[in-house]
Amino acid sequence: MAAGVRRYDPDRRQRIIDAAIRVVGAQGIAGLSHRSVAAEADVPLGSTTYHFATLDELLVAALRQANEGFAVAVEAGLARVDPRADLPTALARLLGELLERERGRAELEYELYLAALRRPALRPVAAEWCEAMARALADHTDPVTARALVAVMDGICLQVLLTDAAYDEAYAREVLTRVLRPS
């Protein structure tokens, strides 16, 4: 290729985001740099800084993409729920599917989500995720209860992920039942 000629590469930005997610999955956020992402994406270093001037911009894109994937999984799970069915049982089963079958994905998504504690640029994206989850659950209950369910489900997920405990579906079902049907 002649000097100064650019190769048309419309998917490069997406490949960089995908590479950032893989880097965080393998090395954690501490391992994320423009250089590590460029190597993982097999693109020149300048491409990562062209598309994402800062690591926070790259993390925002990665978190947004992870959120979208999680939201799709949750919405698909909720779509299988019969409105007359037992919602706590369905949600407990959905959490089990996410934590048992896709634990690595859940760990990655929560790592990106919790990065908002130290990186204010990520907070709006984390808030978007909470609101999207609450909207999806509001189709099955009222908005306030939906937000409470998001908080409880987050708490259960974090306890399982942070303690390496086995997911206890019966416990999750009981807790979710108490939120939905207080005594």
Mind listing the pLDDT tens digit for each residue in 115-168? 999 999 999 998 988 888 888 888 888 999 999 999 999 999 999 999 988 999
Residue 99 phi/psi, 5-degree rounding, is: -85, -30
User: What are the tens digits of pLDDT across the range 25-77?
Assistant: 899 999 999 999 999 999 999 999 999 999 999 999 998 888 887 777 777 77
For the chain, list the domains and their CATH numbers: 8-53 (1.10.10.60), 61-180 (1.10.357.10)
- Sequence-ordered list of residues with C-beta below 8 angstroms from that of 51, at least 6 positions apart, any chain: 12, 13, 16
